[in-house]
A and B are shown apart, each in its own frame.
Chain A
Amino acid sequence: MRSTEAPAMWSRLGTVAAAALLLAATACGSTTNSGGPTAKEPPTAKIAPLASIGAGEGQLNLVLWDGYADKSWVDPFTATTGCKVNQKPAGSSDEMVSLMKDGGGGQWDMVSASGDADLRLIYSGDVKPMNTSLIPDFNNFQTYFKAPPYNTILGVHYGISLQWGPNTLLYSTKKFPQAPTSWSVIYDPANKGLVTVPDNPIQIADAALYLSKTQPNLGIKDPYELTQKQFDASVALLKQQRPLIKKYWGLATDEITLFKNGDVTVGAAWPFQTIQLKAAGAAVADTIPTEGATGWADTWMLATKAPHPNCAYLWTKWVSTPKVQAMQALSFGETPVNTKACSEMETLQAGSCAQYHADAPGTYFNTIKFWKTPIATCDDGTDNCILYAQWQAAWTTITA
């Protein structure tokens, strides 16, 4: 998904942030972004997707997260299809969206967009529908990722899901010999000065998710669609959490340093950090507490003005195969959407399938609330929900 190296330190922030503009895209649509029956039809909805894949055009221009087209799976692709892959790594979702302006400008073919950028791309007409029947492995996808609300609107697919990851609870096994079962540990004054969470407004959704279980009377159903009252409660919880925080982390590597040096003992993280820390011999483990977790997911999307559509489909087909899915998953610490990738992962690294939840049953995805941009329109059609811009402003007051 996103880069974990220092140069792209802001990528994660930008990623979610991107969201802000997404409002522009979805909000003016007046109805929901959840793909429900009332969703507004995106501008490219009527463009008929490719019916069959022709001969490759010899080139493929990709906007992607750094390393999403690694040599180890690009070289065999070029060898078999003759499509030379040209990469443009983006530092943030914002950058992705701006590169893809005007349908990719006739320059870019595809973008590996994250859930928070997707709707922006879809509603500004920069990406167009894709024909899933041209991707044989689509049938092997985890059911949730065949038509997730962030890339499928009114039954039309604006891209093919790629990989995903949960935002997990990372803890020191020295401090917690028993795995914590609740997110309450990161709100518990007993852990004062030992907690770290991402420096990211979307963290409000994590608080809302926790409150949806611990304070059911608030009536939070979707942590990305909060009324003023629910929003205020989430912000209040985070303000209460503020004295417990050692540091709000911006980079995955920052969090790794914090845990490695013993500056913190518990925090919100990605599986990437756990894997890196364990590899370095740190006594840590991660878990998804009973309240569930938030998560992110990436999609390959096709530019409206893609100059090499055949190569683009050939690429999507290739990266959806179990083997490539497994390779990418292990090189990034993320989870493939193709259920067949499980055995390939085992071959590459024993035990990795279960470790990454690549074999999770469908019900597992009910526990993960995938990122989407907070917009004014709630799922019930009313305009009572809090916009992302306000999430950002509130985050400043929380972390000030």
Chain B
Amino acid sequence: MLLWRWPWVRPALLLIPPLAWFVLVYLTSLVLLLVTAFWTIDTFTTQIVQAWNLDNFRIILTEPAYRLIIGRTVGIAALVTITDAALAFPFAYYMAKVASRRTQTVLFAAVLLPLWASYLARVYSWILILNHSGLLNWSLQSIGLPPANIGYTNTAMWLVFSYIWLPFMIIPTYAALERVPDSLLEAAADLGARRWRAVLDVVLPLAMPGVVAGSIFTFSLTLGDYITPILVGGAGSSFIGNVVYSNIGIANNVPFAAALAMVPVAIMTVYLLLAKRLGAFEAI
């Protein structure tokens, strides 16, 4: 009776629990984070002092060390995203448009399989590959090439991140490519376009939202990571996350950590707004 007379009651009832969850858990913590960022600590007692000021942000913007760390984090996240997009597109294209059903299943399993293994184990396995006496140098030397000492460098981080997050780029790209009708390719062929021409002018624009959706994953996951820099990074490989961690875990300077944590939030906001413009949210 009630539900019949006011049809909006039913969706409202359904929406309240997830909405309350979202507001309480997600928005509240974000707002608290934002508020804390404007406080400071008493350097003498390390207690939080609720005095409103912009010091934390001023330090982040003026101290070259923090600018360097933010730049490094964003730079590597962008590089990883571009690398993954370049690797994922041909792979996903093959899966969606060329491979037989059977091969497709095998490839899909191959993409998802690494996600079953622990993240840490996979990062550690890269240490075994990249270190001084690791598999890479051993292989290079056995074919007479000089060793490539890329263990514990930013190059190592770029490689490992690209590997770790690749499935998150392949899956949305594949989903987008799957939705491109084969008839469009046939039409392009009928009109005289070669295969690569059709891919470039027809398939790529249609699959772009999928690539952008994938890039949200690879970019944000890299942006927020702090374990890979610890494990495979060298001297001068700190990410924003590492500095946030040490400020909370070591210095007890929660306000500064909060201010620094606002940086990736701001970057992701801009990124998501851009992604929305590119139609990424229809492809997720």
Whether B45 and A24, one on each chain, are in contact in the complex, defined by CB atoms closer than 8 angstroms, is: yes
Interface membership of chain A positions 29-63, coded 1 if the CB is closer than 8 angstroms to chain B and 0 otherwise:
00000000000000000000000000000000000
Interface residues of B: mostly helix, strand, loop or mixed? loop
Whether A21 and B152, one on each chain, are in contact in the complex, defined by CB atoms closer than 8 angstroms, is: no
Whether A397 and B65, one on each chain, are in contact in the complex, defined by CB atoms closer than 8 angstroms, is: yes
Whether B236 and A242, one on each chain, are in contact in the complex, defined by CB atoms closer than 8 angstroms, is: yes
| A180 contacts chain B at the CB level, 8 A cutoff | no
CA distance A250 to B246 in the complex (A): 12
Whether A17 and B249, one on each chain, are in contact in the complex, defined by CB atoms closer than 8 angstroms, is: yes
Interface membership of chain A positions 248-263, coded 1 if the CB is closer than 8 angstroms to chain B and 0 otherwise:
1010001001100111
| B173 contacts chain A at the CB level, 8 A cutoff | no
| A393 contacts chain B at the CB level, 8 A cutoff | yes
In chain B, positions 236-257 with a C-beta closer than 8 Å to chain A are: 236, 238, 243, 246-247, 249-253
Whether A242 and B250, one on each chain, are in contact in the complex, defined by CB atoms closer than 8 angstroms, is: no
Do A257 and B249 contact each other (CB < 8 Å), given the known contacts A23-B45, A28-B45, A399-B238?
no
- With CB as the reference atom, state the residue of chain B lying closest to A391: B251
- With CB as the reference atom, state the residue of chain A lying closest to B251: A392
Whether B235 and A245, one on each chain, are in contact in the complex, defined by CB atoms closer than 8 angstroms, is: yes
The smallest C-beta distance from B82 to any residue of chain A, in angstroms, reads 24
Whether B43 and A390, one on each chain, are in contact in the complex, defined by CB atoms closer than 8 angstroms, is: yes
Whether B46 and A400, one on each chain, are in contact in the complex, defined by CB atoms closer than 8 angstroms, is: no
| B134 contacts chain A at the CB level, 8 A cutoff | yes
| Chain B residue contacts of A148, Cβ below 8 A | none
| Chain A residue contacts of B235, Cβ below 8 A | 242-243, 245-248, 399
| B262 contacts chain A at the CB level, 8 A cutoff | no
| A389 contacts chain B at the CB level, 8 A cutoff | yes
The smallest C-beta distance from A117 to any residue of chain B, in angstroms, reads 13
Whether A14 and B249, one on each chain, are in contact in the complex, defined by CB atoms closer than 8 angstroms, is: yes
Whether A10 and B249, one on each chain, are in contact in the complex, defined by CB atoms closer than 8 angstroms, is: yes
CA distance A78 to B63 in the complex (A): 56
Whether A24 and B46, one on each chain, are in contact in the complex, defined by CB atoms closer than 8 angstroms, is: yes
Do A201 and B250 contact each other (CB < 8 Å), given the known contacts A263-B152, A399-B235?
yes
| Chain A residue contacts of B151, Cβ below 8 A | 261, 263
Contact of A261 among B45, B134, B233 (CB under 8 A): B134
| A339 contacts chain B at the CB level, 8 A cutoff | no
CA distance A376 to B238 in the complex (A): 28
| A215 contacts chain B at the CB level, 8 A cutoff | no
| Chain B residue contacts of A193, Cβ below 8 A | 149
| B224 contacts chain A at the CB level, 8 A cutoff | no
CA distance A208 to B247 in the complex (A): 23
Contact of A396 among B132, B230, B238 (CB under 8 A): B238
Whether B132 and A262, one on each chain, are in contact in the complex, defined by CB atoms closer than 8 angstroms, is: yes
| Chain A residue contacts of B149, Cβ below 8 A | 193
| B41 contacts chain A at the CB level, 8 A cutoff | yes
Do A16 and B250 contact each other (CB < 8 Å), given the known contacts A389-B46, A397-B65?
yes
Whether A389 and B230, one on each chain, are in contact in the complex, defined by CB atoms closer than 8 angstroms, is: no
| Chain B residue contacts of A92, Cβ below 8 A | 249
| Chain B residue contacts of A399, Cβ below 8 A | 235-236, 238
Whether B246 and A257, one on each chain, are in contact in the complex, defined by CB atoms closer than 8 angstroms, is: no
The smallest C-beta distance from B252 to any residue of chain A, in angstroms, reads 4
- Chain A interface (Cβ within 8 Å of chain B)? 9-10, 13-14, 16-17, 20-21, 23-24, 27-28, 92, 94, 193, 201, 242-243, 245-248, 250, 254, 257-258, 261-263, 376, 387-390, 392-393, 395-397, 399-400
- Chain B interface (Cβ within 8 Å of chain A)? 41, 43-47, 63, 65-66, 68-69, 127, 131-134, 149, 151-152, 230-231, 233-236, 238, 243, 246-247, 249-253
Given contacts A247-B235, A261-B151, 15 further A-B contacts (CB under 8 A): A17-B250, A20-B253, A23-B46, A24-B45, A24-B47, A27-B45, A94-B249, A248-B235, A254-B231, A257-B127, A389-B43, A392-B253, A393-B251, A396-B66, A396-B246
What are 14 contact pairs spanning A and B, CB under 8 A? A23-B45, A242-B236, A246-B234, A248-B235, A250-B230, A258-B152, A263-B131, A387-B43, A389-B43, A390-B43, A392-B246, A392-B250, A399-B235, A400-B68
